[in-house]
Structure 1
Amino acid sequence: FRSVRGALLLSTLGGDIDAILASERWGIIRIFLVSAGVMLLLSLLFAGTIAEPMRRLAEAAERVRRGVKSRQEIPDFSDRQDEIGHLSGALRDMTSALYNRIEAIEHFAADVAHELKNPLTSLRSAVETLPIARDDCARGRLLRVIQHDVGRLDRLISDISDASRLDAELARADMEIVDVSAVLQTVVGLAQEVGRGDGVEIALDVVGTAPFGDARRRWRIFGHDSRLAQVFDNLIDNARSFSAAGGRVQVTLRAERALGPGGQLLEGYEIVVDDDGPGIPADAFERIFERFYTDRPEQGFGQNSGLGLSISRQIVEAHNGRIRAMNRTKAEPEGVDRRRPGDVVLGARFVLWLPAAR
């Protein structure tokens, strides 16, 4: 039978409940305060290590845009191994390239002004003298001077126009697969057909049929075929102009590995253009690639603009290649980078290297 035997009463004091709630409340408050302190410290840390460098970089970029400060004012955070360091390095490189381009444009403008001033001065002198010429012979000489200077100005303006738009054209045009062997064969074939009556022989030798052991690659590179043809044509024409009557211009194409910017070995193709002319002066192996440099005393003053090799190097470097000049000598038939006493110069040699398409 069920029956009530007794009763159990459980109770607690109200103050204990309040104390427990207060304890929990203060625990939450302490966690909040600690979290807020940590967040504040992190904010200060981020402000000092991220926001402040970003602000300085933004201000420096704005100063460069306005032209207020020079490239040295870009903060250098390249010692940091994070995105800020990478951004700083990229901005400094971009600014350096920008100022280099501005300086190149200024130098080019100065060179153009100098080169145009010479024939203009001669032309002005001839025009001013023509009305007071005493006889037909003197007038004929002055007219020939005027004709010569006008022709020189026309060549200069054409080459300057080509050089000035070259960068933009190479940047806009998309590179495509180009068969270097086919381009060379076309250029050499045209040079053989369009003779000058000088009896200079132009020969092409393609060394090997399977570059780097892969017949499918077929001398392929990424580039602009028309601009590469311009380089090859300029080198062949240059070699031909320095060769004696009945001489020979030898063009050789072969596979060749070369060191890249990072020291890695890259596959590519080497084009060598040899002539049997007088060679290159020992101090001019690099100068011949400067704008408006020319050394053709036998052709007379003003016959060449001196921009051909400069444009050629510009095109080659846009294709991530390189070009250099040297002399062929009897002591070093493979070519040397400097003329040594006692060496017999057999002619000039231009060596062009282009990276292979991958």
Structure 2
Amino acid sequence: MLSLLYSALLSLTLASGVYSDGKNISVSTQVFASTGSNVTLPCRLNGDSDIMPFGTIGIRVKWSRMPEDETLEEEPFLVVLGLHTKSFGEFNGRAVMQGADVNDASLVIMDAVASDSGRYRCEVDKGMEDVVYEVSLQVEEAGLLNGVVFPYSPRLGRYNLNFHDAEQACVDQDAVVASFDQLFQAWRGGFDWCNAGWLIDGTVQYPVTKPREPCGGSGSNAGVRTYGQRDKSNSRYDVFCFVSQLEGVFFWLEQPERLTFDEAVQACADNGAEIAKVGHMYAAWKLHGYDRCDAGWLADSSVRYPISRPRKNCSPTQAAVRFLGFPDKKQKLYGVYCFKPQ
């Protein structure tokens, strides 16, 4: 009897595999993971619900893998209808619903492998309300996830980015929004930051290695602390960005005088380069050991300098990218860091 139900579920899924004109992708996001890890692909029901969408009669969740050839049909591998669940194909036994709260239809793929990389689609059908998520998953060998996670807030100040602004802020710095795995790896490496920021799965979290009163209390445990899922349009936080490599040359431009921001931009251009971005500085600092005790303009009009060898008057206690804020662009107090793409 149950096998007949599963057969019916599969037939229903395959029949509805192609979108009608009235069904649009409501969310599109990207997720990174390392081989051997458990990775979560986000999918959430809109609005509030007092019941689990995938545990209710009349509610259907379908997760599919999209073929590289767009002329081919999608490949459904997990369908939930009411209380019944069926997984099949290469994900049978490896893919489960997360169900973290009443609106959560996110998928957890266990023991990720490189061949899991690709595009995925989640459809939640709830009567008149349909939710469609499209997720791009990139699974890389664990060693290839080495990079640097860095916190970012705009000139407007702390907690001014919704999720979509956060994505663009990272792109503007030649980076991407970090995943939980990347933030967790950074935390294990000693990353400590008390301001909460967006991650690519739509959660808001922050890493604490030294518990203290402003960061959850001195009696709390070290760890990556989470605010959970937040409204991507209306909630505002900072963001954690991730950059994996430096595809060019990052350098301090030797100048006889200090520059305004506009003069800094022009000085780099005059030397066949562009003014460097925050992601360039973090990649040069973390991945190549770049060290200089001169504060310089960057493309977002912030002023920073990278210290790999802590010392007096530079960064006496720790290696870090030091941040001097967003000064008046007309001040002639700083030099400039440039970047020449390969």
TM-score range relative to shorter protein: under 0.3
Whichever structure has more helix as a proportion of its residues is 1
TM-score normalised by L of structure 2: 0.23
Which structure would you say has the larger RCO, counting Cα contacts within 8 Å and 6 or more residues apart? 2
- Considering only CA atoms, is the larger Rg found in Structure 1 or Structure 2? 1
TM-score normalised by L of structure 1: 0.22
